[in-house]
Amino acid sequence: TSNETPNNTQTKGADTNNPNAAAGKQVTIGFSAPAADHGWIAAITNNAKAQAATYKDVTFKQVEAGKDAAAQRAVLETLIAEKPDVIVLLPHDGKELNAFGLKAMAAGIPVVNLDRAFPDALAYRCQIKGDNYGMGVAAGHYIGKALKAKNIASPVIGEIAGMDELELTQERSQGFKAALATYGFTVSNRRAARFTADSGQAEATGLFQALNKIDAVWNHDDDQGIGVLAAMNSSNRKEFLLVGGAGSKAAIEAIAKDDSPLKATVTYSPSMASSAISLARLIGQSKGMADLVELQVPKEIILASETITKENASTYLRLGF
Amino acid sequence: MTNENVILRLTDVVKTFPGVVALGGVELEVRAGEVHCLLGQNGAGKSTLIKVLSGVHKPDSGTVQWLGEEVAFANPQAAMKAGIATIYQELDLVEDMSVAENVYLGHEPRSLGFVNRSLMARNTSGILAQLGHAEVVPTRLVRVLSSAGKQLVSMARALSHQAKLIIMDEPSAVLAHDEVENLFRIIRELTAQGIAVVYISHRLEEIREIGDRVTVLKDGRTSAVNLPARTTPTRDLVSRMTGRTIEYVFPPRGDAQPGDKLLEVKGLNRSGEFHDVSLSVHSGEIVGIAGLVGSGRSELLETIFGARRADSGTVTMNGTQLRPGSVGASVKAGLGLAPEERKSQALMLGEPVYRNMTLSTFADLASAGFTSTEKEQAAALGAAKQLDLKPLDVRRSAGTLSGGNQQKVVVGRWLLGGTKLLILDEPTRGVDVGARAELYQVIRGLTEQGVGVLLVSSEVPEVLGLADRVLVMREGRVIRHTAAGELTEEDVLDLVMAGSLETAGEEAA
Amino acid sequence: MTTTTTPQTQQPAATPRVSFWRDEAKEPWRRNLALIGVLILLFIIGAVIRPELYGDPKWVFDNMMVILQQASAIGVVTVGMTFIIIGGGIDLSVGALIALAGVWCTTVATQSFGSAGMIFTAVAVGVGAGLVNGVLIAYGRLVPFIATLAMLVAARGLAARISGKQTQVSTDQFINSIASTRPFGIPMLALILVAVAALGWVLLNRTTFGRRTVAIGGNAEAARLAGINVRRHTMLLYALSGLCCGIAAIMLTSLATSSQAAAAELYELDAIAAAIIGGTLLTGGRGTIVGSMIGVVIFATITNLFAITNTPTEAQNMVKGGIIVLAVLIQQLKFKSVKQMLIRT
Amino acid sequence: MTTTTTPQTQQPAATPRVSFWRDEAKEPWRRNLALIGVLILLFIIGAVIRPELYGDPKWVFDNMMVILQQASAIGVVTVGMTFIIIGGGIDLSVGALIALAGVWCTTVATQSFGSAGMIFTAVAVGVGAGLVNGVLIAYGRLVPFIATLAMLVAARGLAARISGKQTQVSTDQFINSIASTRPFGIPMLALILVAVAALGWVLLNRTTFGRRTVAIGGNAEAARLAGINVRRHTMLLYALSGLCCGIAAIMLTSLATSSQAAAAELYELDAIAAAIIGGTLLTGGRGTIVGSMIGVVIFATITNLFAITNTPTEAQNMVKGGIIVLAVLIQQLKFKSVKQMLIRT
Ligand SMILES: Nc1ncnc2c1ncn2[C@@H]1O[C@H](COP(=O)(O)OP(=O)(O)OP(=O)(O)O)[C@@H](O)[C@H]1O
Ligand SMILES: Nc1ncnc2c1ncn2[C@@H]1O[C@H](COP(=O)(O)OP(=O)(O)OP(=O)(O)O)[C@@H](O)[C@H]1O
Ligand SMILES: [Mg+2]
Ligand SMILES: [Mg+2]
C-alpha cells in the first residue's frame, strides 16, 4: 500500500512504463458511495480518494450519499448540476438508481458504475464490479475440495451470510450453494448477520448451538468475522474449517499465520474503487487501457473472486483492507 | 304507591368488583318531574349505581326498568339514546377541545358529513344562556376554564341531549354559593318540564332545598326509601347513612392562645391571579380563606407552598424566608399542601393507598436510602383509621377508592411526618357528613399539637365554623380579615358578592 | 372591552380579549411560526455556505420543489401518523408497510394488471395491514407500541419473502412517470402531498371523525362516556395510517421505479419526529396537520442542505441531532406559554 | 349472588381474602407466570423440532447459558430502560450510546490505558451522554422522544467519526476474556446481567430512588407537590440508563472483541419491547425488573430457537412478530384482571 491521507489504502502509483501515466487533460471526477458503516464500504471510499490523489490531472469531488437510495438520488441531482467530467457511482441499489444513470448519461456525463450494477446498459459507460456469485462459488469450491480431501462423506456445513435483504448476499449464497452441490454437499444451517462484529458473534453462537459438530463454515464478510472468531473462542469451537469473505488485512494475516480455523478467504476487493477512478480518468481523457488493443476503456470489467490461502497470503496482503 | 309516573325502577341490583361488593342489592324508584336525592357515605355505592344506570357498568344481577320496560344498556350511548343523561363525578371533558365541541361530543350536528360548527356554536350558546352563562364563548378551549366553568360544560352536555332523566353526581362540589343557586334554578326549570333529576350531594342543606324524595344507600344496599327530603330530620338521615347519630358539628375551639408565628406572607403578588396578599398563621391556629370560585385562592396557596413562583413578595416560615418556587424547600421547612384537584395533582391512581399517603414521607421512614414497607403501611394505616377510610385496606390501589375516600388519602398524606403548617385546599370536597365531622376533629386535633392550618373552602359555614381567623378574598385581593366569631355567613356572602351584585344590578338596569 | 374585571368573578368562563401572543387557542399558530423561523434559518445557512446557488432565484425555486418532492412520501405517512398520535396511539410499522405494499404491487403478477391494479394492490395491502394493527390494538387490546412493532417485524419479513429479497423493478410506464411529471413546474408528488395534507386537515378539523380522534386521544374515558365507539374508531385510525402507507408506497415506487423489502427504513422514526416537532403531543389529544407538514419539510430541508454543502455523513448525523434539539428549543424559548405546556406533558 | 353475608355488608372496609388469581397486588406475578408459560412453550417447540438436542440435559443447560450470555448486554440496557419508562420517559438512544461508548473505549489511545482505562471510558461516556439526555429533558424541557432521538442520531455520527468508520479491534486481554470466562460453568456475562438486574430490583423496590421513579411516572405533578425534585430525578434516570449503556458497551466489546459505529443496532426497540412485554406501562408508573428480564430472555430464546431450527431470515421476522403478539395476548386471555388493566391504559 502507498499513501498519505486515509491510511491503509490500495492504490497503484504512476508506472513510468505506462504511456497512460503521463499527465493529460484535467479531469473532474464526481464520486458517490453509500455512507460507510462498515470496513468494506469505508475502504471503497478511502481507496477512491487515495487513488485520485495519485493523479495530478484529476480533481476529485466526493458527495456523501446519505442513508438510503432516496437520499443518494437527492445528492446526485446536485452533483449533475456541477457538471463533472465523469461520475463514479457505487449506488445504494443498482436498480433504484438506474434512472439516475440514464439521466447523467443523457446529460453527457459518462458514468462508471461501481460494483452494484445498473440493470440498464444505457445507464453507464463502464461497469466495474466484483463477482458476488463467483465469491460464493470460490468459497464453495475451497470447502468442497478440502472436505473431499479429508474424506468426509456427509459434512456439516454452516454459512454466516451478510445482510440478508441485500441482493449481493443472495447472489453469494446462491454461488456457494451451487458450488457445494457439485460435491454433493449442502448447507446445514445458514444464519444472516448484519456485517457487524456483534451480529457476527450472535449468529455464530446460534450456529454453534444448532450444530454440535461442524466441518466447515463460510462467513461472507471478514469484518463480521471478527465477531465469528470471538464466538469461536468463547464457546471453544474450533473443530471446523473457516473460510472468510472480502479479504480484510486482519483475515489475511491470520491465514498467513495459520494458527486458527480460518484457512482461507475469498476476495471481494475494495481495490475496485481505485481501479474505477483510474478508468474514469482514462474515460475523461479518451484514452484506452494501455495493455489492450482497444483505443477506449471497455464497457464491463468483472473482478474475479480469488481465494487467499496460506500459500498466497503474502502476495495478497497488499490488497487487504 | 302509584306506578303511573314512575319512569325508572331498579330492583335488587348487584355489582361487584374484584374484592369489593360495590352494590349489594339496591332498590331505586324515580318519578317523572321529581328531584330524587341519593344519600350515602363515601363508598356507599352512589357513583357505581349511576354508572350502572348510564350503561358504563353492567350489573351482575338485578333488573333495571326504564319507562316500564326492562332494559340492559350495553354502553353509555344506549343509555343516552334512551333519554338518560349523566353528569359524572369526575369531570369528563376533553381539555383540548372547545366548549361547543365538548358539549356536542358524540352527537355533533352534521351537514354533508361535515361538522356544522356554526350551528353547534349557536346551540351551545343557547344552552349556556339557559344555564345563566351567556358570556362563555363556545369556541374557547375547555383547558383554560376554571373547575366551575368545566362543570358548566358538563351540565350543558347533559342538557344538549333530549333527556327524560338527568343524573348529577355531586355537581355542586366544585361550585361556589352563587353558582349553586344558579344550578338549583336550572334544576327547577328542568323538573317543571317533567324531566326527572337524580341528585347526589353530601351537603344536606342542598338536599333540603332542592330535593323531593330521598333514597339512602349504606354499604351498597338501600337502607331507606321514599323519605321526604324537606322534613326528614337530619339525625334520621345521618343515622340511616352511617348507623350512628352524629350531626354536622364543628369541634369546639380550644381556649389555648395561638402560639408563635409560623407562617408570614408579605405582599405576595402574581399578575392576573392575586395582588398584594399579606397574612400570617400562628402555631395552633386555623386560618380560613373564604371567597368565590375563581377568586385566586388556589393560586395563592400554591404560591405560598412554592409550587408557583411569586412575581414579588416573600414567604417566611419560622422566621426563615423560603426559597421562592421550591416545593422541596417548603416541605423541608414543614409545609404541606393538600391540593384541590386530587386526580391530577395529588394521587397516583395505580399505586396502593399507603404509597400515596407516604409520598412525602417515605424518605424519612427509610433508613440509608432503603424504604420500609412495614413502617410505611403502619403509618398509613394509622392515618387511615384516623380518617375512617373505607375500605380500611392501605394496600388497595387508590384508583379503586370512591371519590370521597380518595380525598381522605390526600389529606392523610400530611398527617404523617412533621408537618408544622398544613395548607388545605377544599379538603372536604366530596367527603360525606360522617367523615367530614371526623376530618374536622382531626384538623382541630392537629392544632392542639401546635400545627398551624391554612384552609380554603368554598363552603362558607365550614370556614366560619372551623377557622379561628378568617380572610375574605375577592378578585385576588384580601378584602376582610377578622376573627371567625365576628362574621356570619350572610356577612361573608355580602362581602364576596358585593362587587358583582352591583355590576349585575347595573347591567340589569 | 371595558376595564371592569367584575364579570370575571361572576362568570368564571368569561373571555377577556387576549393578544395573539397569549391566546391559548393560537398556540399552534405560534409554534408553527417558530418552525418557519427555523426553516428560514436553514435557508440562510445554505445561502451563506453556497451563495452562488442561493443567489439564483430559478435554482432556489427549483430546489424548493426538489425538497417538496423528496418530502412527499414521508409527508403522506406523517399525515396518517399525526392522526394516530393525536388519537393517543403510535404506529411503528409505517416504514415496513410501505415496503410491503411496494413489493406487493410490483410483483410480476400484479404488474400484469396494469397501473390501476398496482395502485389498488398497494392501497389494499396498506389498509389491510393497518386494519390488522387496528384490530389487535382496539379489540385485542395490545399496547400500540407492541402491536405495531410486531407488525413492523412481520411485514418486513413478508416483504422479503414476496420479493425474494430482490429489488423489484417497476415496468409500469404510468407509475414510473408520476415522479417525473411536473404540471405547472411543480412536481406531481408534491401536489399529491399537498392534496393528502389538505384532505387530512379537513378530516381532522371539520368532520366528526377528526373531532372524535382528538377526543379519544385527549380523554378516552370521556369519549367513551360521551357515547363514542372508541374501539371502532381506534381501529379505523390504524386503517387510515395504513392507507397513507399504501399511497406512499406508490409514490416511493415511482421515485425509485422499483421497490424492495428494505425500503423506507426507519420512516417511522422520521414521521413520529416530524409530527412531534410540529407540535403533536405524544400523549395524544393535541396536534395539527400544518405543524406536522412543516416538521416534514424541515427534515427534508436539512437533508437537502447536507447534500448542497456536501457534509460528510458522520457530521450530518451530529448536526441533524443538534438541529432537532434546536428546533424544539426555539419554539420554547420564544413563547412562554409553550414552555408551560411542555412542563405539563 | 346469593343472600348477603352480613360481615361484608356491615364492613365493606374489611379486606375479603382474595385468591392469588384475583388479588390486584399479585397481578405482576400472574403476568410473569404467563410469560414463563410462553418460555416453556418455546422450549417445547424446540424440543419437538430438534428432539436429539433437547434430549441431552447437558446441551439443554449449555444452551440456556448461551441464551443468557447472548441476552446479557441487551438485558443490562433493559434494566435502565425499565427505570426510564417507569419514570414516564423513553430512551431511544441506548443502541447509539452503546456504539459510542464501545468505539470510544476501543480507540488506540484508550486501549493504551489498559482494561481499567477502557472500562472507565465506556462508563464515563455512557453516563455523560445520558446526562446530556437528562439535562435536555429535565431542564431543557424537550419531549424525551425527541431529545433521545436527537441523541441517537448524533451519537451514531460521533461514533462513526471516532472510529473512522472502521471496526475497532480490542487487543485488551482482560476485556476480551470476560466473555469467555465461565465461573462454575456459568458465563461471566450472564452473572453480570444477574448482578445488574438484582441491583436494579433493589434500587427500584427497596430504595427511595426507586420510589421516586414510580411516583414521578405515576403522577409527576403529585410527586412535585409532595416535595420530590422531579427535574433532578428525571436527569438522574437518564444518567442511569447511560450507565447501563456503558456497561453493556464493555460486555458487547468483550463478546465481539471489537466495536464499531453500527453496533447494537435497534437495541432501543428490543429493550423497549422487552420491558413492555414484561408488563411495564409505556405511560409510566408501573413495571417490574423481573418482568423486563423475562421479556429479554424471551427475545433471546426466540433468536436462539431460530438458529437451532435453521429458520430463514424472512420467516424469522414473520414468526417473531407473531410470537410478540402471542406473548401479550396470552397474558391477557388467562387473567381477566390483566385485561381490565389494559383497557385503562
Ligand atoms: N373500578 C373499581 N374497581 C374496584 N372497586 C371499585 C371500583 N369503582 C368503585 N369501587 C368500589 O366500590 C365502592 C363504591 O364506590 P362508589 O364510587 O360508588 O362510592 P360513592 O358512593 O360514589 O362514594 P363517594 O361519595 O365517595 O363518591 C367503593 O368501595 C369503591 O372502592
Ligand atoms: N390554566 C389556566 N389558564 C387560564 N386561566 C386559569 C387557569 N387556571 C385558572 N385560571 C383562572 O384563574 C382564576 C383563579 O382561579 P382559582 O381556581 O385559583 O380560584 P379559586 O379561588 O381557587 O377557586 P376554586 O374554589 O375553584 O378553587 C379563575 O378566573 C380561573 O378561570
Ligand atoms: Mg361517588
Ligand atoms: Mg381553587
Asked if residue B45 has its Cβ within 6 Å of ligand 1, the reply is yes
More confident residue, A100 or D210: D210
pLDDT averaged over every residue in chain A:
88
C167 in contact with chain A, both atoms CB, cutoff 8 A: yes
In a domain, B211, yes or no: yes
Closest CA to A94 of B25, B222, C257, B151: C257
8 A C-beta contact, residue A264 and residue A240: no
| Structural domain total, chain B | 2
Residue nearest to atom 27 of ligand 1 (CA): B403
Same domain, B221 and B276: no
ipTM value of the model? 0.87
Closest CA to B471 of B296, B212, B309, B210: B296
Domain boundary among the residues B215, B242, B269 is at: B242
Count chain A–chain C contacts defined by CB atoms under 8 A. 85
Angle between helices D208-218 and D188-206 (to 10 degrees): 70
Chain B residues in contact with D15 (beta carbon < 8 A): 19, 391, 393, 395-396
How many angstroms separate the alpha carbon of residue B24 from the centre of ligand 1? 12
Angle between helices D57-86 and D94-105 (to 10 degrees): 110
Given an 8 Å threshold on Cβ–Cβ distance, is B19 in contact with D18? yes
Q: Which residues pair with B277 in a beta bridge?
A: B268
The CATH number of whichever domain residue B448 belongs to comes to 3.40.50.300
Q: Which residue of C has its CA nearest to D276?
A: C146
In a domain, B255, yes or no: no
Residues lying with their CB under 5 A of ligand 3, a single-atom ion: B 47, 89, 403
Residue C342: predicted pLDDT: 46
Residue B4: predicted pLDDT: 59
Same domain, B267 and B229: no
Report the gap between the CA of C84 and the closest CA in chain D (Å): 16
Question: A297-311, B92-106, B490-504: which range is least confident on average?
Answer: B490-504
Percentage with pLDDT > 90 across chain B? 44
Closest CA to A195 of D97, D262, D257, D256: D262
Which of A37, A41, A67, A78 is the best substitution to test chain C (most C C-beta atoms within 10 A)? A78
Residue D24: predicted pLDDT: 67
Distance CA(B295)–CA(C4), nearest Å, equals 15
Q: Which residues pair with B214 in a beta bridge?
A: B37, B227
Residue A5: predicted pLDDT: 38
Alpha-carbon torsion, ordered C160, C163, C166, C172, to 10 deg: -140
Are 3 or more Cβ–Cβ pairs between A and B shorter than 8 Å?
no
Closest CA to A102 of A80, A124, A85: A124
Subunits with 3+ C-beta pairs closer than 8 A to D: A, B, C
More confident residue, A208 or C6: A208
Residue C216: predicted pLDDT: 96
In a domain, B289, yes or no: yes
Atom number, ligand 1, closest to the C-alpha of residue B405: 26
Quote the DSSP letter at residue A182: T
Distance CA(D152)–CA(B38), nearest Å, equals 57
Quote the DSSP letter at residue B226: E
Residue D335: predicted pLDDT: 47
C142 in contact with chain A, both atoms CB, cutoff 8 A: no
Q: Which helix (H) or strand (E) holds C65?
A: helix C57-86
Nearest ligand for residue B272 CA: 2
8 A C-beta contact, residue D181 and residue D121: no
Same domain, B286 and B395: yes
Distance CA(B385)–CA(B374), nearest Å, equals 16
Residue D296: predicted pLDDT: 97
Distance CA(B304)–CA(B323), nearest Å, equals 10
Q: Which residue of D has its CA nearest to A212?
A: D53
Quote the DSSP letter at residue D282: T
Q: Is the pLDDT of residue A3 over 70?
A: no
Given an 8 Å threshold on Cβ–Cβ distance, is D310 in contact with A38? no
Given an 8 Å threshold on Cβ–Cβ distance, is B135 in contact with C285? no
Question: B129-143, B245-259, B404-418, D11-25: which range is least confident on average?
Answer: D11-25
Same domain, B362 and B463: yes
Same domain, B229 and B295: no
Quote the DSSP letter at residue C100: H
Cell numbers linked to C193? 402531498
Q: Which residue of B has its CA nearest to C217?
A: B94
In a domain, B413, yes or no: yes
**CB-closest option in D180, D257, D263 to A196:** D263
Same domain, B180 and B304: no
Q: Is the pLDDT of residue C345 over 60?
A: no
Topology of domain C32-329, CATH: ABC transporter involved in vitamin B12 uptake, BtuC (1.10.3470)
The predicted-structure confidence for C228-278, as pLDDT tens digits, reads as follows 999 999 999 999 999 999 999 999 999 888 898 988 888 999 999 999 999
B42 Rama sector, left if φ>0, alpha if ψ -120 to 50, beta otherwise: beta
In a domain, B256, yes or no: no
How many angstroms separate the alpha carbon of residue B151 from the centre of ligand 2? 13
Given an 8 Å threshold on Cβ–Cβ distance, is D272 in contact with C329? no
Distance CA(B245)–CA(B235), nearest Å, equals 6
Quote the domain boundaries for residue B495: 261-508
The predicted-structure confidence for C94-114, as pLDDT tens digits, reads as follows 999 999 999 999 998 888 999
In a domain, B248, yes or no: no
Q: Which residues pair with A302 in a beta bridge?
A: A129
Q: Which residue of D has its CA nearest to B347?
A: D222
Asked if residue B46 has its Cβ within 6 Å of ligand 1, the reply is yes
Residues with CB under 6 A from ligand 2: B 144, 146-148, 291, 293-299, 340, 458; C 8, 12
Residue C22: predicted pLDDT: 64
How many angstroms separate the alpha carbon of residue B404 from the centre of ligand 3? 7
Asked if residue B404 has its Cβ within 6 Å of ligand 1, the reply is yes
Q: Which residue of B has its CA nearest to C233?
A: B106
Same domain, B286 and B227: no
Which of D151, D270, D311, D314 is the best substitution to test chain C (most C C-beta atoms within 10 A)? D314
The predicted-structure confidence for B449-469, as pLDDT tens digits, reads as follows 889 999 998 888 888 889 999
Residue D154: predicted pLDDT: 94
Given an 8 Å threshold on Cβ–Cβ distance, is B391 in contact with D15? yes
In a domain, B207, yes or no: yes
**What DSSP string runs through A77-111?**
HHHHHT--SEEEE--S-HHHHHHHHHHHHHTT--E
Same domain, B320 and B465: yes
Task: Kindly tell me the sign of the dihedral angle through the C-alpha atoms of C73, A61, A194, A93.
Answer: positive
Nearest ligand for residue C341 CA: 2
The predicted-structure confidence for A229-258, as pLDDT tens digits, reads as follows 999 988 889 999 999 998 888 899 999 999
Same domain, B353 and B235: no
Residue C9: predicted pLDDT: 37
The predicted-structure confidence for D20-31, as pLDDT tens digits, reads as follows 666 667 778 888
C158 in contact with chain A, both atoms CB, cutoff 8 A: no
**CB-closest option in D136, D317, D329 to C153:** D317
The predicted-structure confidence for A151-181, as pLDDT tens digits, reads as follows 998 999 999 999 988 888 999 999 999 999 9
**CB-closest option in A189, A226, A234 to D167:** A226
Residue nearest to atom 17 of ligand 1 (CA): B402
When pLDDT is averaged across residues B104-111 and rounded to a whole number, the result is 89
pLDDT averaged over every residue in chain B:
87
When pLDDT is averaged across residues B230-250 and rounded to a whole number, the result is 77
Averages of pLDDT over runs of 10 residues in chain D (345 residues) are 37 51 74 91 94 93 95 98 97 97 93 94 98 96 92 94 89 93 93 98 96 95 94 97 98 95 92 93 92 96 94 90 85 54 46
Residues with Cβ within 8 Å of residue C103, at least 6 apart in sequence: C159, C162, C163, C168, C259, C260, C261, C263
C232 in contact with chain D, both atoms CB, cutoff 8 A: no
Upper half-sphere CA count for residue D92 (Cβ side, 13 Å): 21
Nearest ligand for residue B401 CA: 1
Q: Is the pLDDT of residue B201 over 60?
A: yes
Which of A70-79, B26-35, C120-129 is most confident?
A: C120-129
Q: Which residue of A has its CA nearest to D257?
A: A230
Domain boundary among the residues B242, B271, B302 is at: B242
Q: Is the pLDDT of residue B301 over 80?
A: yes
Instruction: Using alpha carbons only, give the angle B56, B62, B66 rounded to the nearest 5 degrees.
Output: 65
D194 in contact with chain A, both atoms CB, cutoff 8 A: no
Going from N- to C-terminal start, the domains of chain C cover: 32-329
Same domain, B355 and B495: yes
The predicted-structure confidence for C283-341, as pLDDT tens digits, reads as follows 899 999 999 999 999 999 998 888 888 788 778 888 888 888 888 887 776 444 444 44
